[in-house]
Amino acid sequence: MSYGSIVKVPFGPQHPALKEPEHFLFEIDGEIIVNVKPRIGYNHRGIEKAFERRTYIQNIYLAERICGICSDAHTTCYTQAIEDLLGLDAPPRARYIRVIVAELERIHSHSLWLGIAVHEIGFDTFFMYLWRDREAVMDILELISGNRVHYAMNTIGGVRRDITPEIIPKIIRSLDFLEKRTKYYMKALRSERTVLKRTVDVGVLKPKDAVELCAVGPTLRASGVKNDVRGDDPYAAYDEIPFNIVTDDGCDVFSRMLVRCGEILESINMIRYALDHMPSGMLRVRMPMAVKPGEAVSRVEAPRGELIHYVKSNGSTRPERYKVRSPTLANIPALCRMFIGQHVADIPIILAGIDPCFACMDRLVFIDVKTNKRKSLDFESFSEMVRKQRNFRLA
């Protein structure tokens, strides 16, 4: 039913449903969303330019701080790109440790997301339960790396810390606990009427649209498309570890929940296998200070989907150009499609459905509007330009 007049409703940058600053402008007819305009860039810090000012080793620190939730995915992607340039191969044990940490991160990220998602539909009890159990995986990560969020595990040519035999039983115990709880949550999700009513057939993304709009990660897999970098283009030790790519045909928010729950269970099995089959040997190989000229692209399956890093080297100790394409950015066009025709009340859960991470996303391409040409500027002139134009806005 149409009311004839369109009302514009702003959403963000500060909004209880968003943990990060981002703005969406919804055009609403009655209760139905007819159009949505995302305005990104509140989180833009200029990391890609900062990469060019630091050495390759310092950049590991910076790559980790692109995003706090998928910090390990970013450093894995960064170190793989540099290793590719250098022609280095991480030792087998290091590759297994990378997989273990990456999968632990996936468990932590997915359970975090599931908590936020049920919080958006008002199911706070479930949220609290999930976050309580999530502390088990945070404890494992702290045990392995010494930190809860930025693990600093990866370095160019390997990993920095070992997983010692003493802590393996503790990890296994926590994994058993997590597996039991995740199975219980899946059962609860499937049988809870409130969850079903708020998520089934909400935010539908048809497989054709998902592929057309280049959706990635669990958002794509929940539309029934089997696509996962870990399987399609294995990195680290993923070619040696058996796992299933979890998909679901529901195409809605509910199937996105199920896919992520399924992935938690898969990750638990992968970590168990990796801990059993971890080869012995050294953790890292030495790298030279300077990197020879060249370009490299590296792909990693972050918890939110396919993450791409690109690096261009000119033979010095610093990269000449660095580029990050994060999964959330790839999912934004698909997200805008999901909103059309939905109710206003479903905005938070649809938005949460893609597991947005705006810290990863806000990148910038400088286009001169008058001549429609892409420009590249060095750091100093760019800084100066930005400071001069106080009303500078990101395109």
**Which chain residues interact with another protein by CB under 8 A?**
13-16, 19-21, 41-47, 49-50, 53, 61-62, 65-69, 71, 112, 115, 127-129, 131-132, 135, 138, 148-150, 357, 359, 379, 382-383, 386-387, 392-394
Closest to another protein by CB, 1 vs 395, is: 395
Q: How far is the CB of 281 from another protein (least distance, A)?
A: 31
How far is the C-alpha of 57 from the C-alpha of 317, rounded, in Å? 9
Q: How far is the CB of 168 from another protein (least distance, A)?
A: 24
Count CB atoms within 10 A of the CB of residue 349. Answer: 23
Amino acid sitting at position 156: I
By CB atoms closer than 10 A (0-12, 13-18, 19+), residue 280 is: exposed
Q: Give Cα 57 to chain centroid, integer Å.
A: 23
Closest to another protein by CB, 95 vs 119, is: 119
Evaluate whether 82 touches 291 at the Cβ level (below 8 Å): yes
Closest to another protein by CB, 115 vs 327, is: 115
Q: How far is the CB of 207 from another protein (least distance, A)?
A: 30
Evaluate whether 308 touches 81 at the Cβ level (below 8 Å): no
Evaluate whether 301 touches 228 at the Cβ level (below 8 Å): yes
Closest to another protein by CB, 152 vs 265, is: 152
Q: How far is the CB of 365 from another protein (least distance, A)?
A: 14
Closest to another protein by CB, 147 vs 314, is: 147
Q: How far is the CB of 208 from another protein (least distance, A)?
A: 32
Residues constituting the chain: 395
Q: How far is the CB of 132 from another protein (least distance, A)?
A: 4
**Residue 296 φ/ψ region, left for φ over 0, alpha for ψ in the -120 to 50 degree band, beta for the rest:** beta
How far is the C-alpha of 323 from the C-alpha of 96, rounded, in Å? 26
Closest to another protein by CB, 14 vs 316, is: 14
